[in-house]
Chain A
Amino acid sequence: MMSEAQHIPHDDSGGRDSRPVIIRTLGLTKSYRRGDNITYALSGIDATIFRGELISILGPSGSGKTTFFNMIGALDSPSSGRVLIDEVDVAQLSAVELAFLRCRKIGYVFQSYNLIRYMTALENVTVPMAFAGVDPDIARKRGMELLDMVGLADRWSHRPIEMSGGQQQRVAIARSMCNKPRILLCDELTANLDLDTGEQVLAILQRINRERGVTIVCSTHDHRLLHVSDRIMWIRGGKVEKVERREDLHIKVGSIGGAA
């Protein structure tokens, strides 16, 4: 088992890195059966994500990016292969432990924000704390601190419909951080935002990563995100195509002609 865990074939940079690993996948596949045809969304992904890094996952539509994302977020189970989060096999966890993991150890930020419509910004932020059994008064206090962190303390009583996309996304980030998760998963978080708001959100993300040491995994198309990422993982056809460090990437972006 140990030898398998240490052997990371497709990740050329990971093998050399000595930092602790927080998410590791081994031979991850996901297939869907439709009649006699079996379609592979993922066909064997071995990936390593290090503690405290900000990693972006890139890939065209249908590349299996979202499926991979669901797997490492413990939202879906693989057809074969394993997902280890801090060396714990997700498949071994019970439903109650999975809920615990999703509630306190992983934060999720969705492309469409997924705020609960009938709740105010503050109530939205405190929902995961309610699920975690935090005392309501403490939850409100911590919620206000988090709203302050994303610069929305004065809008705590607004409902999602009364806020702009960027503001909603910031509330969603505050919500994802409320139980002090170790991992933050962001799915296309800037896709629905304009340039300025996107920048703001990225700045917040960077601060969370640097100041709190939270591991951040982003799936994205946004090249601005690449600038703040430590590494970029390219997925194509259900496989990891390549993993690059930002330093290496800059040269390439430059050669393309300053796409960022």
Chain B
Amino acid sequence: MKQIQIADQVRLGPARCLSLTVSGMMYRLFRSAITVAILTLAVTFLAHILSYSLIEHETRLSAYRHLTDSRQLGQWITQLTSAQTLDTIERHLLTGDPATMARYERMSSPEDVAGLRDAMEQTRRFQTYLEQLPDATRIVLVGSQSVWPVLRELGRPGRLAKWERDLRDLRLPPPDMGIGELTLLAERDMPRMDALAKRIQQGQQQALEQLHQTMGGRTVVQWLAGASDSPENLATLRAAGFDLTGEQLATISASAVRRKQLEQLAAAMQIPGVAGAITRRTDIAPTRQTLASISDWLTSKDRAGWLSERLDQAKVRGELTGERLLALAHSVRMEGKWTAATADTQPRPRQGLFDLPRRTRWMIVLSFLVCAAGVTNAMFMSVTERFAEIATMKCLGALDEFLMLMFLMESALQGAVGGAMGILLGMGLAAGRGTISFGMLALDAMPWTDLMWCAALSLLAGMMLAVLSAVGPAWMAARLAPMEAMRID
């Protein structure tokens, strides 16, 4: 009868492995702390770069959106004040945007526009031909002119023949429409298109004259400020060639009210009595009294009330009550911040979380590599100093896979702790930096959802980094011979 029956060793469940791992980690807290610190650094770096770029982008974008309202008003004022230049009309004709074309048809006549559609198509093709030429060749051939002046030039007698020779000399292919078509376009259609542009311009001028009569001597801003989104007003604008919805008009009108009041305030500040009073109260010299500087000072009800009284004494208060002044000052301050935040460029839409400059991406990769080396080293140290313990565990029946799992779990836990700390640090820093750069704008436009993703990603990155770095050391621990336990330190 045998005393010893051999069977397979039991495999421990993950929970059992985890509890054994944790008890070991608690004991070696210091060694863990070093690893965790390295991981924290790497994740901080990643989380900071990702979240700051998110915050920066979102702030700029929201500032840009805010600014479009007041920019729109500016565009409308220009359009309502004077007709478009011929250049602008020509450019719009070439884009062929349906809304613009419809407007132009009303300004001239539908037949005029329809009759030239083919010519415009040809012009567009010629433009494409010019654009695809190498820069240097194009400059030799046509200078830096756009397609309209080029065609006008080619329409002059004898010019086209010379141009054809130039093309041959430069060994360039002729336009695919053929020289014959080009001749027709330059000599016959161009004058007609010029005429059309002029007619459109004249039509605009006439429409605007009528509109200005309706305004009855008021400026465009004043008229817009008073214009509700009533059907008559919309009809008047439509007659002048502007198709607007009631909602659009209401927005523009509100902006115009603000603009009008700001103009009022600016005018009032020119009155010596008011300017002097402001200087005595605020120490801002009359020459440096601008809407911006006054708005910076105008931050309390007290001050606004005081200024409103001064305006009243100078008999220029109008609608500028204290409350209104306070709101105006706020809007001026915000506009200043928005303008500063957009840095005068239109933010382009983001392509995912990692839409970062190449250099930054490389820095993230490098920081992770350095960190991986650090973690691997720390884990190797941890394995080496635990040789006896690991070997003893093997003598006591630990399976290779348990030891492997133990070390991987240990590093995953360290990765999770380091990751969490890194996220807090990195995102905290990013939020702080955002607030310093953009003030409260950054907090208003905080992209919470994207930041959550960023946090999740950073945590995952930290854990992956830790686990991948620990694979080597864990393998080494698992492969250790159990007889190492017999060795005496």
Contacts and interface: CB of A to CB of B under 8 A. Distances in A.
Interface of A: 22, 51, 66, 69-70, 73, 75-76, 85-88, 93-97, 99-105, 108, 110-112, 114, 116-119, 123, 127-128, 130-133, 175, 179, 182, 187
Contact of A123 (B4, B23, B485): B23
B392 interface: yes
B395 A108 contact: yes
A62 to B, nearest CB: 14
B397 A100 contact: yes
Given A128-B396, A131-B397, A22 B9 contact: no
Given A66-B486, A114-B392, A175-B396, A119 B23 contact: yes
Given A75-B482, A99-B9, 9 more contacts: A75-B395, A76-B483, A95-B399, A105-B6, A108-B485, A110-B486, A118-B28, A131-B402, A175-B396
Nearest to B2: A86
B388 interface: yes
A63 to B, nearest CB: 15
B27 interface: yes
A153 to B, nearest CB: 21
B2 to A, nearest CB: 5
A234 B486 CA distance: 20
A104 B4 CA distance: 9
A193 B9 CA distance: 34
Nearest to B487: A112
A87 B2 contact: yes
| Max chain B C-beta neighbours (<10 A), residue from A70, A131, A133, A182 | A131
Interface of B: 2-4, 6-10, 12, 16, 20, 23-24, 26-28, 388-389, 391-400, 402, 481-483, 485-486, 488-489
B23 A88 contact: no
Contact of A130 (B8, B12, B24, B483): B12
A100 B7 contact: yes
Contacts of B389: 114, 116-117
Contacts of A70: 483, 486
A178 to B, nearest CB: 9
B116 to A, nearest CB: 87
A75 B395 CA distance: 7
Nearest to A87: B2
A86 B2 CA distance: 7
Given A118-B27, A127-B393, A100 B4 contact: no
B9 A100 contact: yes
Contacts of B12: 130-131, 133
A44 to B, nearest CB: 20
B400 A95 contact: yes
A76 B481 contact: yes
A111 B488 contact: yes
Contacts of B20: 130
A172 to B, nearest CB: 10
B387 to A, nearest CB: 11
A97 B9 CA distance: 6
A100 B16 CA distance: 18
B4 A85 contact: yes
B21 to A, nearest CB: 11
